[in-house]
A and B are shown apart, each in its own frame.
Chain A
Amino acid sequence: MTTKMFGEPIARVEDDRLVRGHGAYLDDLGHDALAAAFVRSPHAHAEVLDIDVTGALEVEGLLAIYTYEDLPDRLAEPLPLLIPHPSLTHGRTQYALARDVVNHVGEPIVMVVARDRYLAEDAAERIIVSYRPLPAVVGIDAARAAEHLVHPDVPGNVAANMMQRVGDVDAALRNAPHVLELDLSIERSASTPMEGRGVLARWDPESHRLRLWTSTQTSTGVRAAVAAKLGLALVDVDVITPDVGGGFGVKIMHPWPEEVLVPWSAQLLGQPVKFVEDRREHFISSAHERAQQHHVRVGFDDEGQLLGLDVRFWHDHGAYIPYGLIVPIITSTQLVGPYKPGAYRVEFDSLYTNTVIVTPYRGAGRPQGVFVMERTMDAIAAELGLDRTVVRERNFIRPDEMPYDHGLVFQDGRPLIYDSGDYPTSLEKLKKLVGWDDFAAVRDAARAEGRRVGIGLACYVEGTGVGPYEGGHVVVEPSGKVKVATGLTSQGQGHQTVFAQIVADELGVPMADIEVVTGDTRRFGYAVGTFASRAAVMSGSAIHLAARAAREKALKVAADALEADPDDLEIVDGIVRVVGVPGAEISLGTVAVLSNPLRYAFDDAAKAATQFAVGDTGKPPVPEDEEPGIEGRDYFSPMQSTFASGMHAVVVETDPDTAEIKILRYCVVHDCGLLINPRIVEGQIHGGVAQGVGGALYERMAYDEAGQLQNASFMDFLMPYVSEVPERIEIDHLETPSPLNPLGIKGAGEAGVIPGAAAFAAAIEDAEGFPITAMPISPSELFELRRLHSKGLST
């Protein structure tokens, strides 16, 4: 009997290659390619007056220099606004190379192509650009004040104002026994994968075809964008995603200027061209996220039951808004978390600033929303003198209220309806795991020793597996090996493993015989991409359906060969056999051979399928309505997202003298429906939690008033090392299956990061005894807060 693979914590099939150093990431390809480098704006806001390239011309090995003036037709237009929205009234996007104005430090102005990157940088350094600096708009306060405008034709720096409401929030607040107001803010951070962006293009002038490798989260998106910009047919563009060294959201943005410029120059020069972003470029020319300010008014009764919630917030989206309003819409809708907010109104402005663009980073607006809601819950508990878990418990949506319709419109344009979840049980599990009820004693004991410890918790609900669709293709080779393809891409999530697990169960083949390819348009041309914790739900379900179709076909062909009823067949270890009839069996590979009626025999196995060997001469060799081959292709396109959920609790100790913040415990209860591979899910949680720690305690984009990013290096952008993450992340799972897909799964990719800032703020507040309303927080800031609250000055 083949072991059931779904649910097994098996080791990953990806790893053997990667631990040997045989991975193939973008810069591991195209050793013969020319190298691109860019002259980027040193100003946050400036007019470009003149570009003098004379000095660069003497650089040995220089091949080309391009400015905006050189760009033809569609390449000279602004890059696409990917996700339009009726509320996005003033959408502006950048040019592939700046035309006459630059709007953030790092915006590309000149492209240089040379024999290698050293020489390309030599040439770029010698190009002199003259600027007339303009006043920079940096930060939400400056954007709102609008003393200066980022784009002169966008009044107030406002790209969009959007409001959603359920019920009469003004009346609810008017009548509420208690009303609190809070101001809560989160600063900028970024995905910061270990591998930056990169693109390699090879143009074949003979076949007029373009082959593009890019470190992306959407190969089909890049293909469509590049084909459109270069005026090529989709079928003449292959986009291949090689191994990708992490994405975390930033690589879903496309097309980057470099993604269209590199293939264009490869076409012009007739040679492969490669761009590999360096770390400084990644900081100043890829995307950031998270910066938002929120004002909350909340009304509640004596029991802590929410009556009305009114949230106004301001979202800093940077210099351009190519990815639309996805992040603030997610904040707006996911803010409500596992709670019934009573009457709810949420309104936001999406604001231009002279800083790097904002596109989703793991969590995508949820960490901010959860921070707002959970800080609000804690404030209510404090106001009423109730335990923080009690207030949450009283506002939870109950399991018997599922599916629960919030009356809001989610990021996919569809109603926000939770499909399933059991929040009270999650909270019980978390309280038990962290020892919530005993913590007061722990805190008191520590205080008696002069130590400050605190506990915090935060709950979230995450819409995962958003549409519109993904597809899967499964084919059984004559060798019996199974080849699987799906269009979305992988950046380390272990898709090859979990998708193979799904196929192994359906087709009854060993894992070793299954190979999964992702993100290669040559293998699967229809896809959306990897974001929003959607890969397992969307491609997993599609591949499951495709594998089922292949199985049905295999059983039919095998039934003919074995002269049995398909219902009496099973597939075990790659052999189709008649249940209960020893010896009545045929290998899947042979079935694949038989499924493809042949004229020519190319090996012994194929002989069995040739025209003098098989077939009923009274029927067409391929029956009507059927196709040759054991192959399945199917798509999964659900009505709406699934909703995963979870709760984190953290225990911190703050140093009374140095204000350093130490993590003592980190506990997670997580519900992503049924687990395909628990080991991989836990790995996703670990990584998310570490990013949550970074976002809460270490990482921020430190812009000065002039719009210079002061910490554009790993020296000063403080991504956690092992020394900064909890020694142990304690995890408990709850599995409430989703009714929305055949596997009962929900997404797990982003969850770990979402409640981090909220949970840490709560724990620090608990340890210190004053409110924490802005994250991230550093020891220096905690020290200043202590002074503000006249506490803890030891010297």
Chain B
Amino acid sequence: MKPSPFGYSRPASVDEALSTLAAHGSNAKVLAGGQSLLPILSMRLAAPHHLVDINRLTELDYVRLDASTVRVGALARHARVLADTAARVAQPLLAQALRLVAHATIRNRGTTVGSIVHADPSGEMTAVLALLGGSVRVASKSAHRDVPADEFFLGALESAVAPGELALEASFPVLGPRSGTAFVEVSRRQGDYAVCGVGALVELDGDGALSSARTAYLSVSATPLVLDVSEAGEDFAAAAALAHEQVDPEADIHATADYRRHLAGVLTERALRAAHAGAVERSAHG
């Protein structure tokens, strides 16, 4: 289990990185945290000709917050994002999901943006971006573009980042005043990819009644599935039934499709309940 040979460059600036990526086109792969990439290389499931290591681009190692958005730079490690108190307060779903991403040692190196670009349907942060309706800033040598979440995930392990491009930043809208979030999942072992996971975002109106409820799902579809279950109101069992109806998961060695679908229902109810409680509490302190 040793990687095939590859060329390597370690640009010192974003511009240099973009030039290098442009030069190598589809033969190049970006190395950020590498926590998903390295196993793939070592198992020789992929053999890129060239790695562009962005670990020196310290200008991308940030978590920034403004009135409406939490911005996470491409070199911000999961651990850093998880530990960012201001970000956690502004958008609690980030930390609620990040604590479920692998194990602490992996979070010390793996990057949040990297895991989004990796577009693994069982990756928590893909669901978070999709649920919150965030976006990813993608740059090439010639242009920058912001790709909204619903256009970012093209398929399993396939994102909108094209050859020659680099994802610079992921943006997550901050949580509204009368809103709450939750992220729950069932995994075989703690830290494993989820058999099924559900993120929930609940918003209340001025009277404290539920005005909007959305859920996002892990491991049940090729790209993050987001459902609007507002119509069920506070009948979370009904929302669970909606989810149960709408997901169409596949079986694998860990779970049957029916079990996954069942979990999608159960976890929908649990996540909505917790998110609703969060919204109620936030409204009270609001």
Contact = CB atoms under 8 A, between A and B. Distances in A.
A117 interface: yes
Interface string B203-240: 00000000000000000000000000000000001001
13 contacts: A117-B2, A122-B4, A657-B266, A713-B43, A721-B190, A724-B189, A779-B186, A779-B188, A780-B254, A783-B258, A795-B262, A795-B265, A795-B266
A789 B209 CA distance: 40
Contact of B4 (A125, A720, A721): A125
Name the interface size band of chain B.
20 to 34
B263 interface: yes
B57 to A, nearest CB: 28
Interface string A657-670: 11110000000000
Nearest to A660: B186
A795 B253 contact: no
B157 to A, nearest CB: 15
B38 interface: no
B255 A780 contact: yes
B195 interface: yes
A710 B253 CA distance: 8
Given A278-B1, A793-B262, 13 more contacts: A280-B1, A658-B186, A659-B259, A660-B186, A721-B190, A724-B190, A780-B195, A780-B256, A783-B256, A783-B259, A783-B262, A795-B266, A795-B269
B286 interface: no
B244 interface: yes
Given A783-B259, A784-B258, A795-B241, A658 B266 contact: yes
Nearest to A717: B253
Contacts of B255: 778-780
Most buried by B among A118, A658, A698, A713: A658
Contacts of A660: 186
B16 interface: no
Contacts of A710: 253
Contacts of A711: 253
Given A698-B189, A718-B189, A279 B262 contact: no
Contacts of A779: 186, 188, 195, 255, 259
Nearest to B103: A721
Contacts of A718: 188-189, 192
Interface string B1-13: 1111100000000
A795 B243 CA distance: 10
Nearest to B263: A658
Contacts of B56: none
B3 to A, nearest CB: 8
A657 B186 CA distance: 11
Contacts of B263: 658
Contact of A702 (B191, B240, B253, B258): B253
Q: Is the interface of A mostly helix, strand, loop or mixed?
A: loop
B64 interface: no
A173 B195 CA distance: 46
B244 A795 contact: yes
A118 B193 CA distance: 29
A455 B103 CA distance: 32
A122 B254 CA distance: 33
Contacts of A715: 39, 192-193
B44 interface: yes
B265 A716 contact: no
B111 to A, nearest CB: 20
A720 B44 contact: no
Contacts of B2: 117-118, 121
A121 B256 contact: no
Interface string A692-716: 0000001000100000001101011
- What 4 pairs across the A-B complex have the smallest Cβ distances? A723-B190, A795-B265, A780-B255, A780-B259
Interface in A779-795: 779-780, 783-784, 787, 793-795
Taking each of A122, A125, A718, A780, which has the highest tally of chain B beta carbons within 10 Å of its own beta carbon? A780
A276 to B, nearest CB: 10
Nearest to A794: B266
A784 B256 contact: yes
Contacts of A721: 189-191
Contacts of B267: 658
A121 B42 CA distance: 11
A716 B258 CA distance: 20
Given A721-B189, A721-B190, A783-B262, A121 B44 contact: yes
Contacts of B43: 280, 713
Interface in A650-679: 657-660
A787 B259 CA distance: 10
Interface in A749-795: 778-780, 783-784, 787, 793-795
Nearest to B244: A795
Interface in A394-408: none
Interface in A508-552: none
Interface string A105-118: 00000000000011
Contacts of B237: 795
Interface string B70-95: 00000000000000000000000000
Interface in A617-674: 657-660
Of listed B44, B259, B266, residue having the most chain A CB within 10 A: B259
Nearest to A787: B258
B217 to A, nearest CB: 15
A666 B124 CA distance: 33
Contacts of A784: 256, 258-259
A713 B40 CA distance: 12
A720 B186 contact: no
A724 B191 CA distance: 11
B8 to A, nearest CB: 14
Contacts of B256: 780, 783-784
A125 B44 contact: yes
A715 B45 CA distance: 15
Contacts of B5: 118, 122
B253 A716 contact: yes
B1 A279 contact: yes
A600 to B, nearest CB: 55
A783 B259 CA distance: 7
A750 to B, nearest CB: 24
B120 to A, nearest CB: 12
Contacts of B241: 795
Nearest to A656: B266
A660 B270 CA distance: 15
Contacts of A657: 266
Contacts of B244: 795
B150 to A, nearest CB: 27
B103 to A, nearest CB: 8
A720 B262 CA distance: 25
A642 to B, nearest CB: 37
Contacts of A117: 2
Interface in B232-286: 237, 240-241, 244, 253-256, 258-259, 262-263, 265-267, 269
Interface in A578-634: none
A25 to B, nearest CB: 17
A278 B3 CA distance: 13
